[in-house]
Chains A and B, each alone.
Chain A
Amino acid sequence: MSELRLVRLIEPDGSASGDDRYALPAPGELLEHYRALVRGRRFNEQASALVRQGRLAVYPSSHGQEACQVAAAAVLRDGDWLFPTYRDSVAAVERGVDPVEVMLLLSGDWHCGYDPMRHHVAPQATPLATQLPHAVGVAHAARLKGEDTVVLALCGDGATSEGDFHEALNFAAVFRAPVVFLVQNNKYAISVPLARQSVASSLAAKGEGYGMPSALVDGNDVAALTAVLGEAVRRAAGGDGPTLMEADTYRMDAHTNADDASRYRDDAEVTEWARRDPLVRLRAHLRAAGVLDDEEERAIAESAEQTAAYLRTGLSADSEPDPAELFAHVYAGPAPHLAAQAELLAAELTAEVHS
């Protein structure tokens, strides 16, 4: 088996790579992606700050992986579905979910703060790979309904060790389901490096075992990501089944704010990956192409600042979820067997008010 050749359209220094398989997207399109990258980076910074301010319990940042986040949202059409993990908040926001609603999972207000049916964005999955079979089910449903809906399912390198990863890919291939699996290989599952997850030549190479096409893409090159993901989405929509994509990227921050990355990786490694930063390279490319000037940069930064301010304001208000919600949604149908416990809580709350 030949090793997959990495797809890269823009070099870390901003120059065009001249890939013979994919064309570089038009500058106007790339400028839109740059806007989203800056917005995503600012979102990551703001959310991390909100943890330190006590507004969020934790934030698994996608700092360094913003190109994957932006591309995942950008290639989907109206009606398509996104299945994100806990590290994919930026992708959910880019798909149009209210940023504050996305963060309610992490602020402790509710396990999923947005309406998945309205946005076609599944709840962010915490247990690894569990969302992947669901994505296959939604994709298979689209086939049964005769729709051209496509599902994009996100996961990380650690998730590829899970049984659900295998089962989902196998089901998708056997059912020829219109689903694109995007593995963001950010090199670490908390502290455990990729070498302890897999010794395959690449994670993308696993596609061969399932009989599905796969691609290995520079995960910090939004141009390459949108080109290759876009092609996979078109294939899926056209009835040609699933694709496995591996994005070669890097988790610049620790796993979460509660993690200490210095215990398991060297600063030199992080410094090396900073050189390949997705924003830096696209900025250099666009500046050289003459489509990004100082004025435009100021406007982009200002727009990102507005998103950050919206997030700060929305999460700085003290919220108090209704305790009755504890019992309200356990079942779709009536649940009289929970009534006694609900009454107990209500009585306790009444007693507190009067004491």
Chain B
Amino acid sequence: MAAPVKSTVDTAMSSVQNLTIGKALNLGLRRAMEADSKVIVMGEDVGKLGGVFRITDGLQKDFGEHRVLDTPLAESGIIGTAVGLAVRGFRPVCEIQFEGFIFPGFDQISSQLAKLHYRTQGKVKVPVVIRVPYGGGIGAVEHHSESPESLFAHTPGLRVVSCSNPVDAYWMLQQAITCDDPVLFFEPKRLYHSGALKAAVDTTATPEPLFASRVLRQGGVDAAATLVTYGPSVKVCLDAATAAAEEGKSLEVIDLRTLSPLDLEPVFESVRRTGRLVAVSEASSESSLTSEIAARVQQECFYSLEAPVLRVTGFDTPYPPSKLEEHFLPDLDRVLHAVDRALAW
């Protein structure tokens, strides 16, 4: 599943490119389409425009209208049509324009896409990837800044992942496309074009497995606490760890990457050493991924915990108007405050 996709172009170009997350996703899509003629990109404005975030920029020009399909404006129709295409051997990659617009397609995703393989005892495979720009902090109007990933992680039959950096964006998207299960691919939209996050993407490297979390920052032998997070909050946690280090506190940071199935072994391993865990996410806390993490960590690491698992999340409210979003979103101070609470327990 995690086999690297062989590149067929750019052989003259250096295999290392300095890319934003957005450009890395674009290149990853391009590579996936080169590697397999059954890969089809479909969605609203993905063709000529290249998507409202330009993630599919240039693909229709190079691969044609049959493979990069501007669809009518209807999310259920997009997902449902992709299901039929997948039944006949295609690998559709659907773009949902903003996460807030995924709900007209929710029935097709949760009742159909997630269950077809099970219903048919494995006789029907539906390898559909649904790309979902998600998360806040872009000053947008309502329905453009939400974090609905827990709804999908709660649904058996779906796989759910989220990237947080250009290297993962490039590889994880290609790996998701080769996966025989439906994959919800959540993309941290406010980081798409972040120059600060630009990173060297080595297209000849061997990628990490798709369904594995990763320790991004080691805390060393005197690590004080563990931060576990994913997607847009990874940057917040890495910044928090840097700030904590200046105060002499060493934090470990784990990027989940896979939200369903969860890969919590690295988290358990870390918590057994640090005794303290703060789970961070922009999504509301109630019945969420961070709830699941807290439950599993207390079950697996009960005797190692020095403090309860604490959570720093979006509030249990609808996403607020943009002038209030800075108060809603977990930020560096809120994360550090939670770390202090855990240490003072």
Contact = CB atoms under 8 A, between A and B. Distances in A.
B120 A116 contact: yes
A152 B111 CA distance: 22
Interface residues of A, number: 41
A331 B124 contact: no
B248 interface: no
Interface stretch (B75-83, B218-226, B279-287, B309-317): B75-83
Nearest to B122: A329
Given A168-B77, A337-B262, A142 B124 contact: no
A332 B114 CA distance: 11
Contacts of A127: 107, 111
Contacts of A336: 261
A171 B262 contact: no
Contacts of B139: none
B125 interface: yes
Interface in A68-84: none
A178 interface: no
Interface in A123-140: 123, 127, 130, 132-140
B311 to A, nearest CB: 22
A127 B303 CA distance: 47
A130 B104 CA distance: 12
A325 interface: yes
Contact of B80 (A168, A325, A335): A168
Contacts of A310: none
A164 interface: yes
A137 B261 contact: no
B84 interface: yes
B1 A333 contact: yes
B294 interface: no
A112 interface: yes
A146 B118 CA distance: 30
Majority-rule SS of A interface residues: helix
Sorted from nearest, which 5 A-B pairs have the closest CB atoms?
A137-B84, A133-B80, A167-B77, A141-B88, A332-B180
Contact of B76 (A133, A325, A330): A133
**Residue picked from A112, A115, A127, A141, most chain B C-beta under 10 Å:** A141
B85 interface: yes
B157 to A, nearest CB: 6
A115 B117 contact: no
A130 B107 contact: yes
A336 B212 CA distance: 12
B159 A133 contact: no
Given A133-B79, A333-B180, A145 B88 contact: yes
Contacts of A1: none
Given A111-B118, A337-B261, A332 B181 contact: yes
Contact of A332 (B71, B84, B115, B122): B122
17 contacts: A116-B120, A118-B123, A123-B116, A123-B120, A135-B84, A137-B83, A137-B85, A138-B87, A163-B76, A168-B80, A171-B77, A325-B121, A330-B157, A331-B117, A331-B181, A332-B179, A332-B181
Interface in A91-132: 110-112, 115-118, 122-123, 127, 130, 132
Contact of A130 (B1, B66, B82, B112): B112
Nearest to A130: B112
B173 interface: no
A137 B156 contact: no
A145 B37 CA distance: 11
Interface string B174-187: 00000111000000
A171 B157 contact: no
Contacts of A123: 116, 119-120, 124
A174 interface: yes
B180 A141 contact: no
